A and B are shown apart, each in its own frame.
Chain A
Amino acid sequence: MLEIKNLQFNVEEEGENIDIIKDISLTVPDGKLVVITGPNGGGKSTLAKLIMGVRKPTGGQIIFEGQDITDKSITERARMGISFAFQQPVRFKGIRVIDLLRLAKGEKLSSGEACKYLAKVGLCARDYIGREVNASLSGGELKRIEIATILAKASKMSVFDEPEAGIDLWSFQNLIEVFEEMRKDIKDSSILIISHQERILEIADEIIVLSDGKVEKQGTREEVLPTLIGTQSAVAVCKRLE
């Protein structure tokens, strides 16, 4: 379980103090898929980075599994069981897909097992396993590999920062299926997705709406989703695909 208490994050820009996260308190319970939505610039991605430790908050606390992790490093959080899928996955010269999956798994990983993770994200393993995670891969391919690393890491809590960003519609359909699969195997782990895509909101157990650095709404999908349809917080993927 993840608890966020009175979290704040501000930056100084041209001598001005800007509050990105004003005062956020929320809980991500075990066994749930929670989606955080809200208008652009509302602080969603910043919150994801604060959870992973990529950014340090200027106030408040982050509690994971009963432990205060506010001052813990990225590495420590990762080892405690938090994983993070980047909005824009990173490219590496010379590091292959299988190397990245092995690092994610943290132990020996046979080619067969690695292929399983790739198959789950819709990639033909034979074509990808030996490829470098470099600029030769498209945005959609990189995104799928990024998600495969999260599957391989099998964390207590997986955070996805705008997983739909930069992928094509075809991949998006596949992505929804991946999350539905993850949802089935959730057990006592939890999934936190930052997204304002209606299709992703539709598979949420709980929805949190962030706006202007604060929690505007929080509740079950049934309670929250109907109030969001047609707003910036629930964007339809593409009418023609419906």
Chain B
Amino acid sequence: MEEMNEIQKRLLEEVADLHEVPTGAFNIRANGKSIGRNSSANIEITSKEDGSGLDIRVKDGTRNESVHIPVVMTLSGLSEVVYNDFFIGEDCDVVIVAGCGIDNCGNANSQHDGIHRFFVGKNSHIKYVEKHYGSGDGSGKRILNPVTEVYLLEDSMAEMEMVQIKGVDNTERVTKAEVAAGASLLVRERLMTHGEQEAISKYTVTINGEGGSADVVSRSVARDNSFQRFDAVITGNTPCKGHTECDAIIMDNGRVLAVPALEANNVDAELFHEAAIGKIAGEQLIKLMSLGLTEEEAEEEIINGFLK
């Protein structure tokens, strides 16, 4: 594997909790090219023929294995679109860690658009963790527009944890999922925006099989002059369960628009949505201050807990 510089190492730690080369299958992409790759006996990572991304194939019955595919960018002005496809066999149980860290000290915008498609086989379970992080004090923006498509076959399950806590100036996240009979999708999104940042997150989930379920929960904090929009549409075409929740804290001049939508096309579809937006409750601050914290410390504790 090629050597990484210190900034790249720090970004890698932020987005994938990696301090060294991971065990199992991995591909590390830095400034537009792969700098290290490993396939395992059950998980094969290959470049797409046209060079536009990766194909990750997980054999039937692969259990307790992981795939890391982090991306780091430290060159100002770099813009890339990467297509990664995950083909998960039947009866698998794997953890997939993605994520992108951008450090932009220059004046040109840096942008990474990752398009991830997951084809999850029958009875398989995946846990997908994606963290986005930005740093650097240049005037160039750090832009991330991830597209995630999830196709869940019968009785499979995808748990998706998407986190973007710091430093990404613009993001438009699009997530689309199709859920077959007995399959379930569980999404936990954590988002914090500050400064002049804008974040848009759109979910379109269609449940097409009997007993399918989807639970899409977003918790977010909008500080300073930032703006967030959360759109979630859940369609139930069969007897199924769907739930979406947007819970947001606004601070300073932060703004949040939450637009949950439900479409039931079957009389046995049970769909719910919840949305709550507001500032930190005064009594929460008072309680923590009465334990000896300053108002600022109390705010940080409340936000850290909320976004945990």
Q: Which of B247, B281, B284, B286 contacts A74 (CB 8 A)?
A: B286
Distance of A94 Cα from B302 Cα, bound (Å): 8
Given that A92-B305, A103-B301 are known contacts, is A153 also in contact with B291, CB under 8 Å in the complex? yes
Is B295 within 8 A of A75, CB to CB? yes
- A81 CB, min distance to chain B CBs, angstroms: 10
List the one stretch of A82-90, A118-126, A190-198, A216-224 in contact with chain B. Answer: A82-90
The number of inter-chain residue pairs (CB within 8 angstroms) is 59
- A147 CB, min distance to chain B CBs, angstroms: 13
Q: Which of B286, B290, B294, B306 contacts A83 (CB 8 A)?
A: B290
Is B290 within 8 A of A74, CB to CB? yes
B247: nearest chain-A partner, CB-CB = A93
- The residues in A between 44 and 94 inclusive whose CB is less than 8 angstroms from any CB of B are 52, 54, 73-75, 78-79, 83-84, 86, 89-90, 92-94
Is B305 within 8 A of A75, CB to CB? no
- B300 CB, min distance to chain A CBs, angstroms: 11
B290: nearest chain-A partner, CB-CB = A84
B21 within 8 A of A: no
- B162 CB, min distance to chain A CBs, angstroms: 17
Distance of A54 Cα from B282 Cα, bound (Å): 10
**Residue of B281, B286, B291 contacting most chain A CB atoms (<10 Å):** B291
Given that A90-B281, A95-B305 are known contacts, is A75 also in contact with B289, CB under 8 Å in the complex? yes
Q: Which of B286, B293, B301, B304 contacts A54 (CB 8 A)?
A: B286
A99 within 8 A of B: yes
* A99 proximity list for chain B (CB < 8 A): 301, 305
Given that A90-B284, A92-B302, A95-B301 are known contacts, is A78 also in contact with B290, CB under 8 Å in the complex? yes
B307 within 8 A of A: yes
* A95 proximity list for chain B (CB < 8 A): 301-302, 305
- B191 CB, min distance to chain A CBs, angstroms: 14
Is B307 within 8 A of A106, CB to CB? no
- The residues in B between 273 and 308 inclusive whose CB is less than 8 angstroms from any CB of A are 281, 283-284, 286-295, 301-302, 304-308
Is B289 within 8 A of A93, CB to CB? no
A104 within 8 A of B: yes
Given that A75-B295, A103-B301 are known contacts, is A94 also in contact with B307, CB under 8 Å in the complex? yes
Q: Which of A73, A89, A149 contacts B291 (CB 8 A)?
A: A149
* B287 proximity list for chain A (CB < 8 A): 86, 89-90
Interface size range on A against B: 20 to 34
A82: nearest chain-B partner, CB-CB = B290
Q: Which of A52, A75, A84, A93 contacts B293 (CB 8 A)?
A: A75
Distance of A54 Cα from B284 Cα, bound (Å): 12
A95: nearest chain-B partner, CB-CB = B305
Distance of A74 Cα from B289 Cα, bound (Å): 6
Q: Could you give, for residues 90-113 of chain A, a 1 whenever the CB lies within 8 Å of some chain B CB and a 0 otherwise?
A: 101111100110011010000000
* A79 proximity list for chain B (CB < 8 A): 292
Is A75 within 8 A of B292, CB to CB? yes
Distance of A86 Cα from B294 Cα, bound (Å): 18
Is B283 within 8 A of A106, CB to CB? no
- A195 CB, min distance to chain B CBs, angstroms: 19
Distance of A103 Cα from B308 Cα, bound (Å): 17
Is A103 within 8 A of B291, CB to CB? yes
Is A90 within 8 A of B283, CB to CB? yes
- B270 CB, min distance to chain A CBs, angstroms: 21
- B130 CB, min distance to chain A CBs, angstroms: 20
Q: Could you give, for residues 52-80 of chain B, a 1 whenever the CB lies within 8 Å of some chain A CB and a 0 otherwise?
A: 00000000000000000000000000000
Is A93 within 8 A of B306, CB to CB? yes
Distance of A86 Cα from B287 Cα, bound (Å): 8
Is A104 within 8 A of B291, CB to CB? yes
- A234 CB, min distance to chain B CBs, angstroms: 28
- A134 CB, min distance to chain B CBs, angstroms: 10
The 9 closest A-B pairs by CB, nearest first: A94-B305, A95-B305, A74-B289, A78-B292, A90-B287, A94-B306, A84-B290, A94-B308, A104-B291
Could you pull out 12 A-B pairs where Cβ atoms are within 8 angstroms? A74-B286, A74-B289, A75-B292, A83-B290, A84-B290, A90-B281, A94-B304, A94-B306, A94-B308, A103-B301, A106-B292, A153-B292
Known: A78-B290, A93-B247, A94-B304. 8 other contacts (CB 8 A): A73-B289, A74-B286, A78-B289, A78-B292, A86-B283, A92-B302, A94-B306, A103-B288
